[in-house]
Structure 1
Protein backbone atom coordinates (compact mmCIF):
# COMPACT_ATOMS: atom_id res chain seq x y z
CA UNK A 1 0.00 0.00 0.00
CA UNK A 2 0.98 3.62 -0.48
CA UNK A 3 2.38 5.58 2.46
CA UNK A 4 -0.56 7.96 2.70
CA UNK A 5 -2.96 5.00 2.79
CA UNK A 6 -0.97 3.36 5.59
CA UNK A 7 -1.06 6.64 7.51
CA UNK A 8 -4.82 7.08 7.07
CA UNK A 9 -5.52 3.48 8.07
CA UNK A 10 -3.29 3.86 11.13
CA UNK A 11 -5.23 6.93 12.29
CA UNK A 12 -8.63 5.32 11.65
CA UNK A 13 -7.55 2.12 13.40
CA UNK A 14 -6.51 4.16 16.44
CA UNK A 15 -9.88 5.94 16.57
CA UNK A 16 -11.80 2.67 16.14
CA UNK A 17 -9.73 0.95 18.83
CA UNK A 18 -10.27 3.82 21.28
CA UNK A 19 -14.03 3.45 20.79
CA UNK A 20 -14.09 -0.33 21.08
CA UNK A 21 -11.80 -0.55 24.12
CA UNK A 22 -13.02 2.73 25.65
CA UNK A 23 -9.49 4.15 25.78
CA UNK A 24 -9.23 7.97 25.82
CA UNK A 25 -7.53 9.33 22.71
CA UNK A 26 -5.87 12.68 22.13
CA UNK A 27 -3.89 14.47 19.42
CA UNK A 28 -0.61 12.91 20.59
CA UNK A 29 -2.07 9.39 20.34
CA UNK A 30 -3.29 10.08 16.81
CA UNK A 31 0.11 11.52 15.84
CA UNK A 32 1.90 8.48 17.29
CA UNK A 33 -0.41 6.09 15.40
CA UNK A 34 0.16 8.01 12.17
CA UNK A 35 3.97 8.00 12.49
CA UNK A 36 4.20 4.35 13.52
CA UNK A 37 1.83 3.28 10.74
CA UNK A 38 4.46 4.29 8.16
CA UNK A 39 7.54 3.45 10.25
CA UNK A 40 8.03 -0.11 8.87
CA UNK A 41 8.80 1.41 5.47
CA UNK A 42 11.88 3.12 6.87
CA UNK A 43 13.66 0.12 5.33
CA UNK A 44 12.83 1.67 1.93
CA UNK A 45 15.05 4.71 1.25
CA UNK A 46 12.46 6.38 -1.00
CA UNK A 47 9.42 5.84 1.23
CA UNK A 48 7.23 8.59 2.69
CA UNK A 49 8.68 8.06 6.18
CA UNK A 50 12.26 8.29 4.86
CA UNK A 51 11.36 11.57 3.13
CA UNK A 52 9.88 12.76 6.42
CA UNK A 53 13.35 12.66 7.98
CA UNK A 54 15.34 13.54 4.84
CA UNK A 55 13.81 15.12 1.75
CA UNK A 56 14.76 13.36 -1.46
CA UNK A 57 15.60 16.57 -3.33
CA UNK A 58 17.99 17.58 -0.52
CA UNK A 59 19.83 14.25 -0.60
CA UNK A 60 20.02 14.43 -4.42
CA UNK A 61 21.59 17.89 -4.17
CA UNK A 62 24.11 16.66 -1.58
CA UNK A 63 24.88 13.65 -3.78
CA UNK A 64 25.63 15.86 -6.80
CA UNK A 65 27.85 18.18 -4.76
CA UNK A 66 29.67 15.20 -3.27
CA UNK A 67 30.31 13.60 -6.67
CA UNK A 68 31.57 16.91 -8.11
CA UNK A 69 33.84 17.44 -5.09
CA UNK A 70 35.29 13.93 -5.36
CA UNK A 71 35.79 14.47 -9.09
CA UNK A 72 37.76 17.68 -8.51
CA UNK A 73 39.82 16.20 -5.66
CA UNK A 74 40.80 13.13 -7.70
CA UNK A 75 41.75 15.29 -10.67
CA UNK A 76 44.02 17.61 -8.66
CA UNK A 77 45.64 14.72 -6.82
CA UNK A 78 46.25 12.97 -10.14
CA UNK A 79 47.68 16.04 -11.86
CA UNK A 80 49.97 16.73 -8.89
CA UNK A 81 51.41 13.26 -9.26
CA UNK A 82 51.98 13.47 -13.00
CA UNK A 83 52.21 16.36 -15.49
CA UNK A 84 49.87 14.89 -18.10
CA UNK A 85 46.49 16.63 -18.22
CA UNK A 86 45.01 13.93 -20.46
CA UNK A 87 46.22 11.09 -18.23
CA UNK A 88 44.77 12.86 -15.17
CA UNK A 89 41.46 13.33 -16.98
CA UNK A 90 41.31 9.63 -17.88
CA UNK A 91 42.17 8.59 -14.30
CA UNK A 92 39.51 10.96 -12.94
CA UNK A 93 36.88 9.66 -15.38
CA UNK A 94 37.57 6.01 -14.53
CA UNK A 95 37.59 6.75 -10.80
CA UNK A 96 34.24 8.52 -10.94
CA UNK A 97 32.70 5.65 -12.95
CA UNK A 98 33.83 3.20 -10.25
CA UNK A 99 32.73 5.45 -7.36
CA UNK A 100 29.29 6.16 -8.87
CA UNK A 101 28.71 2.42 -9.32
CA UNK A 102 29.24 1.91 -5.58
CA UNK A 103 28.15 5.20 -4.03
CA UNK A 104 24.64 5.54 -5.46
CA UNK A 105 22.03 8.05 -4.34
CA UNK A 106 20.12 5.34 -2.45
CA UNK A 107 23.26 4.27 -0.58
CA UNK A 108 23.99 7.89 0.33
CA UNK A 109 20.40 8.32 1.60
CA UNK A 110 20.78 5.24 3.80
CA UNK A 111 24.02 6.64 5.22
CA UNK A 112 22.46 10.02 5.94
CA UNK A 113 19.27 8.55 7.42
CA UNK A 114 21.34 6.35 9.75
CA UNK A 115 23.54 9.29 10.73
CA UNK A 116 20.48 11.40 11.57
CA UNK A 117 19.29 8.80 14.08
CA UNK A 118 22.78 8.12 15.45
CA UNK A 119 23.37 11.85 16.02
CA UNK A 120 19.94 12.14 17.66
CA UNK A 121 20.78 9.19 19.92
CA UNK A 122 24.10 10.85 20.78
CA UNK A 123 22.32 14.11 21.69
CA UNK A 124 19.86 12.20 23.88
CA UNK A 125 22.78 10.47 25.60
CA UNK A 126 24.47 13.82 26.30
CA UNK A 127 21.32 15.19 27.94
CA UNK A 128 21.10 11.94 29.95
CA UNK A 129 17.87 10.64 28.41
CA UNK A 130 16.59 7.23 29.46
CA UNK A 131 18.37 4.26 27.88
CA UNK A 132 15.23 2.83 26.25
CA UNK A 133 14.60 6.04 24.32
CA UNK A 134 18.21 6.02 23.08
CA UNK A 135 17.91 2.32 22.21
CA UNK A 136 14.75 2.96 20.19
CA UNK A 137 16.48 5.70 18.16
CA UNK A 138 19.49 3.44 17.53
CA UNK A 139 17.19 0.68 16.27
CA UNK A 140 15.72 3.16 13.79
CA UNK A 141 19.26 3.88 12.54
CA UNK A 142 19.48 0.22 11.45
CA UNK A 143 16.14 0.17 9.61
CA UNK A 144 17.39 1.90 6.40
CA UNK A 145 19.87 -0.95 5.88
CA UNK A 146 17.34 -3.76 6.26
CA UNK A 147 16.08 -5.60 3.22
CA UNK A 148 12.67 -4.17 2.30
CA UNK A 149 9.83 -6.11 3.93
CA UNK A 150 12.03 -8.29 6.09
CA UNK A 151 12.42 -7.92 9.87
CA UNK A 152 10.54 -4.60 9.98
CA UNK A 153 7.43 -6.38 8.66
CA UNK A 154 7.47 -9.31 11.09
CA UNK A 155 5.63 -10.06 14.33
CA UNK A 156 8.98 -9.98 16.14
CA UNK A 157 9.47 -6.34 15.18
CA UNK A 158 5.97 -5.62 16.54
CA UNK A 159 6.93 -7.26 19.85
CA UNK A 160 10.19 -5.30 19.98
CA UNK A 161 8.39 -2.01 19.26
CA UNK A 162 5.81 -2.71 21.97
CA UNK A 163 8.44 -3.60 24.57
CA UNK A 164 10.52 -0.48 23.99
CA UNK A 165 7.49 1.84 23.78
CA UNK A 166 6.15 0.35 27.02
CA UNK A 167 9.39 1.17 28.82
CA UNK A 168 9.35 4.74 27.41
CA UNK A 169 5.69 5.06 28.41
CA UNK A 170 6.47 4.05 32.00
CA UNK A 171 9.59 6.20 32.24
CA UNK A 172 8.01 9.38 30.87
CA UNK A 173 4.40 8.72 31.93
CA UNK A 174 3.02 9.07 28.37
CA UNK A 175 -0.51 7.68 28.40
CA UNK A 176 -1.15 4.71 26.08
CA UNK A 177 2.03 5.29 24.04
CA UNK A 178 2.71 1.58 23.64
CA UNK A 179 -0.90 0.80 22.74
CA UNK A 180 -1.32 3.38 19.97
CA UNK A 181 2.27 3.08 18.72
CA UNK A 182 2.06 -0.70 18.40
CA UNK A 183 -1.44 -0.46 16.92
CA UNK A 184 -0.24 1.94 14.23
CA UNK A 185 2.78 -0.24 13.48
CA UNK A 186 0.64 -3.40 13.31
CA UNK A 187 -1.92 -1.73 11.03
CA UNK A 188 0.82 -1.27 8.43
CA UNK A 189 1.32 -5.03 8.33
CA UNK A 190 -2.06 -6.62 9.12
CA UNK A 191 -4.35 -4.00 7.56
CA UNK A 192 -2.04 -3.16 4.69
CA UNK A 193 0.92 -5.07 3.26
CA UNK A 194 -0.51 -8.48 4.18
CA UNK A 195 -3.11 -7.97 1.43
CA UNK A 196 -0.59 -7.09 -1.29
CA UNK A 197 0.63 -9.60 -3.84
CA UNK A 198 4.17 -9.41 -2.45
CA UNK A 199 3.04 -10.25 1.09
CA UNK A 200 5.05 -10.01 4.31
CA UNK A 201 7.45 -12.41 6.12
CA UNK A 202 5.52 -12.53 9.41
CA UNK A 203 7.93 -14.98 11.07
CA UNK A 204 11.21 -13.45 9.87
CA UNK A 205 14.04 -14.24 10.77
CA UNK A 206 12.82 -17.78 11.59
CA UNK A 207 11.35 -17.99 8.11
CA UNK A 208 11.63 -15.55 5.22
CA UNK A 209 8.54 -16.96 3.50
CA UNK A 210 6.18 -14.12 2.63
CA UNK A 211 2.52 -14.56 3.48
CA UNK A 212 -0.14 -12.87 1.35
CA UNK A 213 -3.91 -12.75 1.78
CA UNK A 214 -4.57 -10.64 -1.29
CA UNK A 215 -3.56 -9.73 -4.78
CA UNK A 216 -3.05 -5.95 -4.63
CA UNK A 217 -0.15 -4.48 -6.56
CA UNK A 218 1.08 -1.23 -4.99
CA UNK A 219 0.41 1.74 -7.26
CA UNK A 220 -1.96 -0.11 -9.60
CA UNK A 221 -5.34 1.39 -10.51
CA UNK A 222 -7.32 -1.44 -8.90
CA UNK A 223 -5.11 -1.35 -5.81
CA UNK A 224 -5.60 2.41 -5.38
CA UNK A 225 -9.36 2.00 -5.84
CA UNK A 226 -9.56 -0.79 -3.25
CA UNK A 227 -7.44 1.26 -0.83
CA UNK A 228 -10.02 4.06 -1.01
CA UNK A 229 -12.84 1.53 -0.55
CA UNK A 230 -11.11 0.04 2.50
CA UNK A 231 -10.70 3.49 4.04
CA UNK A 232 -14.42 4.19 3.48
CA UNK A 233 -15.27 0.88 5.17
CA UNK A 234 -13.16 1.82 8.20
CA UNK A 235 -14.85 5.23 8.34
CA UNK A 236 -18.24 3.53 8.19
CA UNK A 237 -17.28 1.24 11.07
CA UNK A 238 -16.22 4.22 13.17
CA UNK A 239 -19.49 6.06 12.47
CA UNK A 240 -21.46 2.89 13.26
CA UNK A 241 -19.54 2.39 16.51
CA UNK A 242 -20.20 6.00 17.54
CA UNK A 243 -23.94 5.76 16.75
CA UNK A 244 -24.22 2.41 18.50
CA UNK A 245 -22.43 3.84 21.52
CA UNK A 246 -24.85 6.78 21.64
Structure 2
Protein backbone atom coordinates (compact mmCIF):
# COMPACT_ATOMS: atom_id res chain seq x y z
CA UNK A 1 0.00 0.00 0.00
CA UNK A 2 1.23 3.48 -0.88
CA UNK A 3 2.49 5.80 1.86
CA UNK A 4 -0.16 8.46 1.32
CA UNK A 5 -2.87 5.79 1.60
CA UNK A 6 -1.37 4.47 4.84
CA UNK A 7 -1.33 8.02 6.21
CA UNK A 8 -4.95 8.72 5.22
CA UNK A 9 -6.19 5.41 6.63
CA UNK A 10 -4.26 5.98 9.86
CA UNK A 11 -5.92 9.37 10.39
CA UNK A 12 -9.41 8.09 9.51
CA UNK A 13 -9.08 5.01 11.73
CA UNK A 14 -7.83 7.21 14.57
CA UNK A 15 -10.92 9.43 14.24
CA UNK A 16 -13.28 6.45 14.01
CA UNK A 17 -11.79 4.64 17.02
CA UNK A 18 -11.95 7.85 19.06
CA UNK A 19 -15.68 8.05 18.25
CA UNK A 20 -16.23 4.41 19.23
CA UNK A 21 -14.44 4.70 22.58
CA UNK A 22 -15.55 8.32 23.12
CA UNK A 23 -11.99 9.56 23.46
CA UNK A 24 -11.46 13.29 22.79
CA UNK A 25 -9.36 13.91 19.69
CA UNK A 26 -7.16 16.90 18.93
CA UNK A 27 -4.99 18.08 16.05
CA UNK A 28 -1.99 16.64 17.91
CA UNK A 29 -3.67 13.21 18.08
CA UNK A 30 -4.39 13.34 14.35
CA UNK A 31 -0.75 14.20 13.60
CA UNK A 32 0.40 11.33 15.86
CA UNK A 33 -1.91 8.90 14.01
CA UNK A 34 -0.61 10.15 10.66
CA UNK A 35 3.09 9.83 11.56
CA UNK A 36 2.80 6.42 13.21
CA UNK A 37 0.68 5.07 10.35
CA UNK A 38 3.69 5.39 8.04
CA UNK A 39 6.40 4.71 10.65
CA UNK A 40 6.71 0.94 9.89
CA UNK A 41 8.04 1.85 6.43
CA UNK A 42 11.11 3.50 7.95
CA UNK A 43 12.76 0.22 6.93
CA UNK A 44 12.31 1.34 3.30
CA UNK A 45 14.72 4.19 2.29
CA UNK A 46 12.36 5.45 -0.43
CA UNK A 47 9.26 5.56 1.75
CA UNK A 48 7.14 8.57 2.67
CA UNK A 49 8.28 8.44 6.31
CA UNK A 50 11.95 8.35 5.25
CA UNK A 51 11.38 11.51 3.20
CA UNK A 52 9.68 13.06 6.23
CA UNK A 53 12.91 12.83 8.23
CA UNK A 54 15.36 13.23 5.34
CA UNK A 55 14.44 14.83 2.03
CA UNK A 56 15.51 12.66 -0.90
CA UNK A 57 16.93 15.58 -2.90
CA UNK A 58 19.09 16.61 0.07
CA UNK A 59 20.46 13.08 0.53
CA UNK A 60 21.20 12.85 -3.21
CA UNK A 61 23.10 16.14 -3.06
CA UNK A 62 25.10 14.95 -0.04
CA UNK A 63 25.83 11.66 -1.81
CA UNK A 64 27.12 13.39 -4.96
CA UNK A 65 29.18 15.86 -2.91
CA UNK A 66 30.70 12.97 -0.93
CA UNK A 67 31.60 11.04 -4.10
CA UNK A 68 33.25 14.12 -5.61
CA UNK A 69 35.13 14.77 -2.37
CA UNK A 70 36.40 11.18 -2.21
CA UNK A 71 37.35 11.42 -5.89
CA UNK A 72 39.46 14.53 -5.30
CA UNK A 73 41.15 13.07 -2.20
CA UNK A 74 42.06 9.84 -4.03
CA UNK A 75 43.43 11.71 -7.06
CA UNK A 76 45.66 14.12 -5.15
CA UNK A 77 46.83 11.39 -2.75
CA UNK A 78 47.77 9.19 -5.70
CA UNK A 79 49.43 12.11 -7.48
CA UNK A 80 51.52 12.89 -4.42
CA UNK A 81 52.65 9.27 -4.15
CA UNK A 82 53.61 8.55 -7.76
CA UNK A 83 53.78 12.06 -9.27
CA UNK A 84 52.20 10.81 -12.50
CA UNK A 85 49.05 12.56 -13.70
CA UNK A 86 47.86 9.84 -16.07
CA UNK A 87 48.49 6.99 -13.65
CA UNK A 88 46.75 8.91 -10.87
CA UNK A 89 43.75 9.48 -13.14
CA UNK A 90 43.48 5.78 -13.93
CA UNK A 91 43.81 4.80 -10.25
CA UNK A 92 41.18 7.37 -9.27
CA UNK A 93 38.76 6.17 -11.96
CA UNK A 94 39.07 2.51 -10.96
CA UNK A 95 38.82 3.28 -7.24
CA UNK A 96 35.76 5.50 -7.59
CA UNK A 97 33.97 2.86 -9.70
CA UNK A 98 34.53 0.33 -6.91
CA UNK A 99 33.43 2.79 -4.22
CA UNK A 100 30.26 3.76 -6.10
CA UNK A 101 29.37 0.07 -6.47
CA UNK A 102 29.55 -0.36 -2.69
CA UNK A 103 28.64 3.09 -1.37
CA UNK A 104 25.22 3.49 -3.04
CA UNK A 105 22.78 6.32 -2.43
CA UNK A 106 20.37 3.93 -0.67
CA UNK A 107 23.10 2.74 1.69
CA UNK A 108 24.12 6.30 2.48
CA UNK A 109 20.47 7.28 2.95
CA UNK A 110 19.99 4.47 5.48
CA UNK A 111 23.12 5.65 7.26
CA UNK A 112 21.92 9.27 7.40
CA UNK A 113 18.46 8.28 8.66
CA UNK A 114 20.04 6.12 11.34
CA UNK A 115 22.42 8.91 12.37
CA UNK A 116 19.53 11.38 12.71
CA UNK A 117 17.93 9.23 15.40
CA UNK A 118 21.25 8.39 17.03
CA UNK A 119 22.07 12.10 17.35
CA UNK A 120 18.58 12.70 18.74
CA UNK A 121 19.13 9.93 21.31
CA UNK A 122 22.48 11.49 22.31
CA UNK A 123 20.82 14.91 22.68
CA UNK A 124 18.07 13.40 24.83
CA UNK A 125 20.71 11.71 26.98
CA UNK A 126 22.67 14.96 27.40
CA UNK A 127 19.56 16.82 28.57
CA UNK A 128 18.90 13.93 30.98
CA UNK A 129 15.69 12.81 29.28
CA UNK A 130 13.93 9.66 30.52
CA UNK A 131 15.32 6.32 29.40
CA UNK A 132 12.13 5.28 27.53
CA UNK A 133 12.35 8.30 25.24
CA UNK A 134 16.01 7.54 24.51
CA UNK A 135 15.25 3.85 23.94
CA UNK A 136 12.45 4.77 21.54
CA UNK A 137 14.77 6.89 19.36
CA UNK A 138 17.44 4.17 19.44
CA UNK A 139 14.92 1.65 18.10
CA UNK A 140 14.01 4.07 15.30
CA UNK A 141 17.72 4.35 14.46
CA UNK A 142 17.73 0.58 13.78
CA UNK A 143 14.60 0.58 11.58
CA UNK A 144 16.41 1.64 8.35
CA UNK A 145 18.64 -1.45 8.60
CA UNK A 146 15.81 -3.96 8.96
CA UNK A 147 14.76 -5.95 5.93
CA UNK A 148 11.62 -4.35 4.48
CA UNK A 149 8.44 -5.77 6.04
CA UNK A 150 10.18 -7.76 8.72
CA UNK A 151 10.16 -6.93 12.45
CA UNK A 152 8.68 -3.45 11.92
CA UNK A 153 5.57 -5.07 10.41
CA UNK A 154 4.90 -7.54 13.23
CA UNK A 155 2.68 -7.85 16.29
CA UNK A 156 5.83 -7.67 18.43
CA UNK A 157 6.75 -4.21 17.11
CA UNK A 158 3.16 -2.99 17.61
CA UNK A 159 3.14 -4.12 21.26
CA UNK A 160 6.63 -2.68 21.83
CA UNK A 161 5.52 0.63 20.29
CA UNK A 162 2.51 0.77 22.62
CA UNK A 163 4.66 0.02 25.68
CA UNK A 164 7.24 2.72 24.88
CA UNK A 165 4.62 5.31 23.97
CA UNK A 166 2.71 4.53 27.17
CA UNK A 167 5.81 5.18 29.28
CA UNK A 168 6.47 8.45 27.44
CA UNK A 169 2.80 9.39 27.86
CA UNK A 170 2.90 8.78 31.62
CA UNK A 171 6.23 10.57 32.11
CA UNK A 172 5.40 13.67 30.08
CA UNK A 173 1.61 13.66 30.60
CA UNK A 174 0.88 13.56 26.86
CA UNK A 175 -2.80 12.73 26.59
CA UNK A 176 -3.63 9.55 24.61
CA UNK A 177 -0.22 9.38 22.89
CA UNK A 178 -0.02 5.59 23.18
CA UNK A 179 -3.62 5.13 22.02
CA UNK A 180 -3.43 7.13 18.79
CA UNK A 181 0.19 6.16 18.11
CA UNK A 182 -0.59 2.45 18.37
CA UNK A 183 -3.83 2.76 16.38
CA UNK A 184 -1.94 4.51 13.58
CA UNK A 185 0.91 1.97 13.68
CA UNK A 186 -1.47 -1.01 13.71
CA UNK A 187 -3.55 0.43 10.83
CA UNK A 188 -0.46 0.26 8.62
CA UNK A 189 -0.11 -3.47 9.23
CA UNK A 190 -3.64 -4.81 9.75
CA UNK A 191 -5.60 -2.48 7.45
CA UNK A 192 -2.89 -2.00 4.86
CA UNK A 193 0.01 -4.32 4.07
CA UNK A 194 -1.82 -7.42 5.28
CA UNK A 195 -4.02 -7.06 2.19
CA UNK A 196 -1.14 -6.90 -0.29
CA UNK A 197 0.48 -9.70 -2.26
CA UNK A 198 3.76 -9.50 -0.32
CA UNK A 199 1.98 -9.77 3.04
CA UNK A 200 3.46 -9.20 6.50
CA UNK A 201 5.29 -11.46 9.00
CA UNK A 202 2.89 -10.93 11.93
CA UNK A 203 4.68 -13.46 14.18
CA UNK A 204 8.23 -12.20 13.49
CA UNK A 205 10.77 -12.96 15.01
CA UNK A 206 9.14 -16.30 15.96
CA UNK A 207 8.32 -16.92 12.30
CA UNK A 208 9.42 -15.32 9.03
CA UNK A 209 6.30 -16.50 7.22
CA UNK A 210 4.41 -13.61 5.66
CA UNK A 211 0.63 -13.66 5.88
CA UNK A 212 -1.54 -12.13 3.17
CA UNK A 213 -5.32 -11.86 2.97
CA UNK A 214 -5.32 -10.72 -0.66
CA UNK A 215 -3.03 -10.72 -3.67
CA UNK A 216 -3.16 -7.03 -4.63
CA UNK A 217 0.05 -5.69 -6.12
CA UNK A 218 0.99 -2.28 -4.67
CA UNK A 219 0.87 0.44 -7.32
CA UNK A 220 -1.33 -1.45 -9.80
CA UNK A 221 -4.45 0.24 -11.15
CA UNK A 222 -6.77 -2.21 -9.41
CA UNK A 223 -4.92 -1.87 -6.11
CA UNK A 224 -5.01 1.95 -6.28
CA UNK A 225 -8.73 1.81 -7.03
CA UNK A 226 -9.37 -0.42 -4.02
CA UNK A 227 -7.34 1.93 -1.80
CA UNK A 228 -9.57 4.85 -2.83
CA UNK A 229 -12.69 2.73 -2.27
CA UNK A 230 -11.51 1.72 1.19
CA UNK A 231 -10.88 5.35 2.12
CA UNK A 232 -14.34 6.34 0.90
CA UNK A 233 -15.88 3.55 3.01
CA UNK A 234 -13.99 4.74 6.09
CA UNK A 235 -15.18 8.31 5.54
CA UNK A 236 -18.76 7.06 5.20
CA UNK A 237 -18.44 5.07 8.46
CA UNK A 238 -17.11 8.16 10.28
CA UNK A 239 -19.95 10.37 8.97
CA UNK A 240 -22.48 7.69 9.93
CA UNK A 241 -20.97 7.42 13.43
CA UNK A 242 -21.11 11.21 13.92
CA UNK A 243 -24.75 11.34 12.80
CA UNK A 244 -25.67 8.48 15.16
CA UNK A 245 -24.09 10.39 18.07
State whether TM-score is above 0.5.
yes
Hey, what's the Cα distance between the residues in 2 that align with 1:222 and 1:116?
A: 37
For 1:202-241, list aligned pairs within 5 A: 202-241=202-241
Hey, what's the Cα distance between the residues in 1 that align with 2:178 and 2:34?
A: 13
Following superposition, the deviation at residue 116 of structure 1 comes to: 0.6
Following superposition, the deviation at residue 83 of structure 1 comes to: 2.0
Residue by residue over 1:173-203, the C-alpha shift from the partner in whole angstroms, topping out at 9 and shown as x without a partner, is 1111111100000000000000001100001
Following superposition, the deviation at residue 79 of structure 1 comes to: 0.7
For 1:111-190, list aligned pairs within 5 A: 111-190=111-190
Q: Which residue of 2 aligns with 1:38?
A: 38
Residue by residue over 1:127-161, the C-alpha shift from the partner in whole angstroms, topping out at 9 and shown as x without a partner, is 11111011101110000000000000000000110
Hey, what's the Cα distance between the residues in 2 that align with 1:66 and 1:200?
A: 36
Hey, what's the Cα distance between the residues in 2 that align with 1:118 and 1:168?
A: 18
Residue by residue over 1:89-132, the C-alpha shift from the partner in whole angstroms, topping out at 9 and shown as x without a partner, is 11111110110011000000011001111111111111111110
Hey, what's the Cα distance between the residues in 2 that align with 1:69 and 1:239?
A: 56
Hey, what's the Cα distance between the residues in 2 that align with 1:68 and 1:19?
A: 55
Following superposition, the deviation at residue 25 of structure 1 comes to: 0.8
Hey, what's the Cα distance between the residues in 1 that align with 2:207 and 2:87?
A: 52
Following superposition, the deviation at residue 242 of structure 1 comes to: 1.1
Hey, what's the Cα distance between the residues in 1 that align with 2:216 and 2:52?
A: 25
Q: Which residue of 1 aligns with 2:24?
A: 24
Number of residue equivalences = 245
Please tell me the root mean square deviation across aligned C-alpha atoms, in Å: 0.6
Q: Which runs of 5+ in 1 are unaligned?
A: none
Following superposition, the deviation at residue 84 of structure 1 comes to: 1.7
Hey, what's the Cα distance between the residues in 2 that align with 1:59 and 1:15?
A: 34
Hey, what's the Cα distance between the residues in 2 that align with 1:70 and 1:88?
A: 14
Following superposition, the deviation at residue 86 of structure 1 comes to: 1.4
Moved over 6 A (4+): none
For 1:95-106, list aligned pairs within 5 A: 95-106=95-106
Residue by residue over 1:195-236, the C-alpha shift from the partner in whole angstroms, topping out at 9 and shown as x without a partner, is 001100001111111100012111111111100000000011
* SS of the residue 2:46 aligns to: coil
Following superposition, the deviation at residue 240 of structure 1 comes to: 1.0
TM value normalised by structure 2: 0.99
Residue by residue over 1:38-62, the C-alpha shift from the partner in whole angstroms, topping out at 9 and shown as x without a partner, is 0000000010000001000000001
Following superposition, the deviation at residue 85 of structure 1 comes to: 1.4
